[in-house]
Amino acid sequence: MSATKKNIFERLLANEVIPMEDPDYGDVRVAVEETMGLNLKLNNAEGLDEVRKYLGEIIGTEVDESTTLFTPFYTNVGRHIKLGKNIFINHACSFLDLGGIEIEDNVMIGPRVNISSENHPTEIEKRNMMVPQKVTIKKGAWLGANVTVLPGVTIGENSVVAAGALVNKDVEPNSVYAGIPAKKIKEL
């Protein structure tokens, strides 16, 4: 029995390192172009219901009416973003989601937050490879203004990440993290 070949998006979600010369990499470029058109509509929407409609088209599933997104909002593909309920995403956030971004219920995300589930190796000869790693934001978490979350990070339940922090390692539940790189400064 032969195994069915996974498409590039399934491979990315499985954290497979993908060289940009991969024969299927063009599918990513096509998806980015489609999302660019939807992002334009989303960022020119005239109300929150219309924003949720276009966000749902970008991520490929209906966005719960309890979720609020203030535009502008940016994502490269969007189909690997999973949203729970009662989420607030403030202005000018950017989500790079090829490795997967999951945001659970009751999460607050401040303005200018950047979440990336994608990276590249530092070695020059390997730098043209995509290294995907899922980012998970657990329920009840709050990311302050201008936080950056790097690939592979889990933000623990009910935790707070202070404004301006750079999160490169997991955040424990019920904790406050701050700084560059983010470090635990207290428990809640």
Name the pLDDT band for 4 (thresholds 50, 70, 90): confident
Catalytic residue (one of 29, 120, 126, 186): 120
Q: For the purposes of burial, counting CB atoms within 10 Å of the CB of 146, is it exposed (0-12), middle (13-18) or buried (19 or more)? A: middle
- Give residue 132's pLDDT band: very low, low, confident or very high (50, 70, 90): very high
Please provide the DSSP assignment of 46-61 as one string.
Answer: SSHHHHHHHHHHHHTS
Domains by residue range for the chain, with CATH: 8-187 (2.160.10.10)
DSSP class per residue in 80-91: TEEE-SS-EE-T
pTM: 0.95
Instruction: Answer yes or no: 120 catalytic.
Output: yes
